[in-house]
């Protein structure tokens, strides 16, 4: 083809999404597989959200409310911020994309961890800026090394808390020290996609940092704890001036009417939220206790997923688990050739996983179901 993309687009590797269950089943000739690969909610979507979607379907001939007035107002009241500090997105991905379009230009750099959520890299490269990647230090985010990597070209820093794929967290004191060492012209994107699962008292809560005077943008999503990944809705909380800039580049109907209705209803679904958090805590404990008995090395987490060191080729273990109908995430492409990442599932799914892992790793310990 004679038409060439802008040079920097060629440096982008497309996002490798987890395969849909149906595709994996077809490919491997298996049935009744369980997917513990994409950090989704094992309980399904919030029932109140589902009811709201069904009701909202009748209005699909109308364009959505561009600014998502009701959802934004409800979020503001719930979170204790102002509505003009919130920007809704087609998933929190969308808000991250807006931030890069507004604050980065070709030649700028953005600092992130290595590994980190792959979309940061893609969005930064899309606008012709360059990612600068700082390795984790024993799986922890190395904030001093990130601060030391700042140059006059740096315009943005990404921090994920709890982190993906490790599940590790940072503390308020660590973050304060980091902020104190940053020059004031840098936008800090604090991605809290999994914050609702965190239960450590010393886990940083980005909401407490929101101020019109601090260039911090906190990303949150309905994809995880509310079980709404498929309908795509998330949001950012940030200084009002920053939010105003994002509205300049936001597509007018970036969040669809079903997603707005679902998210608004989900905010009222306290019971679902409680049940999800309870399930994740109970099942995480069950998985970790079982793995310990099996002599398998796992890493602590503040999220709904965690890493396991399989002490052999993660790719082979991933493939062998797939043959048993259990889909997890190999960490090979994240730079951990012997780790897999597992999303916490229901008790039945977790037992399937543990039994499959036992067979694959040839362990003798039995699962105490
Ligand atoms: C760290 C992190 N940020 C953001 C997202 C994207 O969330 P959303 O579905 O709201 O776009 C994910 C999804 O897996 C994630 O792991």
Query: What confidence tens digit (pLDDT) does each residue in 299-348 have?
Result: 999 999 999 999 999 999 999 999 999 999 999 989 999 999 999 999 99
Query: Sorting pLDDT into bands at 50, 70 and 90, what band is 28?
Result: confident
Gap from CA of 267 to ligand 1 centroid (Å): 18
| Domain at 47-266, CATH from 3.40.640.10, 3.40.50.720, 1.10.3720.10, 3.40.50.620 | 3.40.640.10
Query: Sorting pLDDT into bands at 50, 70 and 90, what band is 368?
Result: low
Locate the domains of the chain by residue range. 18-44+270-361, 47-266
pLDDT of residue 138: 95
Q: Tell me if 220 sits within 8 A of 193, measured CB to CB.
A: yes
* Ligand 1 near 92 CB (within 6 A): yes
Tell me which of 113, 119, 193, 304 to substitute to probe ligand 1's pocket, judged by most ligand atoms within 8 Å of the beta carbon. 193
Query: Sorting pLDDT into bands at 50, 70 and 90, what band is 1?
Result: confident
pLDDT of residue 364: 56
CATH topology match: 18-44+270-361 vs 47-266: no
* Ligand 1 near 91 CB (within 6 A): yes
Gap from CA of 88 to ligand 1 centroid (Å): 14
Least confident of 21-30, 184-193, 211-220: 21-30
Mean pLDDT of 4-12: 89
* Ligand 1 near 234 CB (within 6 A): yes
* Ligand 1 near 166 CB (within 6 A): no
CATH number attached to the domain at 18-44+270-361: 3.90.1150.10
Gap from CA of 270 to ligand 1 centroid (Å): 22
Question: Which atom of ligand 1 is found nearest the CA of 94?
Answer: 11
User: pLDDT at residue 142 above 60?
Assistant: yes
pLDDT of residue 2: 83
Query: Sorting pLDDT into bands at 50, 70 and 90, what band is 369?
Result: low
Instruction: Express each pLDDT in 180-212 by its tens digit.
Output: 999 999 999 999 999 999 999 999 999 999 999
The pLDDT mean for the chain works out to: 95
pTM of the model: 0.95
Gap from CA of 294 to ligand 1 centroid (Å): 31
pLDDT of residue 336: 96
pLDDT of residue 335: 93
* Ligand 1 near 160 CB (within 6 A): yes
pLDDT of residue 79: 97
3-class SS string, the chain: CCCCCCHHHHHCCCCCCCCCHHHHHHHHCCCCCEECCCCCCCCCCCHHHHHHHHHHHHHCCCCCCCCCHHHHHHHHHHHCCCHHHEEEECCHHHHHHHHHHHHCCCCCEEEEEECCCHHHHHHHHHCCCEEEEEECECCECCHHHHHHCCCCCEEEEEEECCCCCCCCCCCHHHHHHHHHCCCCCCEEEEECCCHHHCCCCCCCCHHHHCCCCCCEEEEEECCCCCCCCCCCCEEEECCHHHHHHHHHHCCCCCCCHHHHHHHHHHCCCHHHHHHHHHHHHHHHHHHHHHHHHHCCEECCCCCCEEEEECCCCHHHHHHHHHHCCEECEECHHHCCCCEEEEECCCHHHHHHHHHHHHHHHCCCCCCCC
Gap from CA of 253 to ligand 1 centroid (Å): 20
Question: Which atom of ligand 1 is found nearest the CA of 160?
Answer: 1
pLDDT of residue 19: 72
Q: Tell me if 304 sits within 8 A of 349, measured CB to CB.
A: no
- Distance (Å, whole) CA 255 – CA 233: 7
User: pLDDT at residue 264 above 80?
Assistant: yes
Query: Sorting pLDDT into bands at 50, 70 and 90, what band is 94?
Result: very high
* Ligand 1 near 121 CB (within 6 A): no
Gap from CA of 211 to ligand 1 centroid (Å): 23
* Ligand 1 near 37 CB (within 6 A): no
Question: Which atom of ligand 1 is found nearest the CA of 233?
Answer: 10
């Amino acid at each position: 083809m004679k038409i060439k993309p802008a040079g920097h687009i060629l440096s982008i590797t497309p996002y490798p999404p987890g395969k849909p269950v149906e595709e994996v089943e077809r490919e491997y000739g298996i049935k009744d597989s369980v997917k513990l690969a994409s950090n989704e909610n094992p309980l399904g979507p919030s029932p109140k959200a589902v009811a709201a979607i069904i009701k909202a379907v009748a209005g699909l001939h109308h364009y959505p409310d561009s600014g998502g007035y009701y959802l934004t107002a409800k979020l503001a009241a719930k979170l204790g911020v102002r509505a003009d500090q919130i920007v809704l997105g087609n998933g929190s991905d969308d808000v991250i994309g807006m931030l890069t379009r507004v604050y980065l230009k070709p030649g700028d750099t953005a600092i992130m961890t290595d590994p980190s959520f792959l979309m940061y890299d893609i969005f930064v490269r899309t606008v012709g800026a360059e990612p600068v990647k700082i390795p984790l230090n024993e799986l922890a985010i190395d904030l001093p090394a990130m601060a030391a990597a700042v140059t006059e070209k740096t315009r943005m820093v990404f921090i994920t808390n709890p982190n993906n794929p490790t599940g590790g967290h940072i503390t308020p004191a660590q973050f304060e020290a980091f902020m104190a060492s940053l020059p004031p012209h840098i936008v800090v994107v604090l991605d809290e996609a999994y914050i609702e699962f965190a239960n450590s008292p010393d886990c940083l809560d980005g909401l407490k940092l929101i101020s019109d005077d601090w260039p911090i943008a906190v990303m949150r999503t309905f994809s995880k704890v509310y079980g709404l990944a498929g309908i795509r809705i998330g949001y950012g909380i940030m200084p009002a001036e920053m939010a105003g800039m994002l509205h300049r580049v936001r597509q007018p109907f970036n969040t669809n009417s079903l997603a707005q209705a679902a998210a608004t209803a989900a905010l009222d679904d306290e019971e679902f939220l409680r049940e999800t958090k309870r399930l994740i805590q109970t099942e995480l404990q069950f998985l970790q206790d079982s793995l310990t008995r099996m002599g398998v090395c796992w890493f602590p987490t503040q999220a709904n997923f965690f890493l396991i060191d399989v002490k052999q080729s993660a790719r082979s273990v991933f493939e062998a688990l797939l043959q048993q109908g259990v889909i997890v995430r190999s960490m090979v492409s994240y730079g951990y050739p012997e780790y897999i990442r597992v999303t916490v599932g229901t008790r039945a799914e977790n037992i399937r996983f543990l039994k499959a892992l036992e067979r694959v790793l040839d362990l003798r310990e039995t699962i105490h179901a």
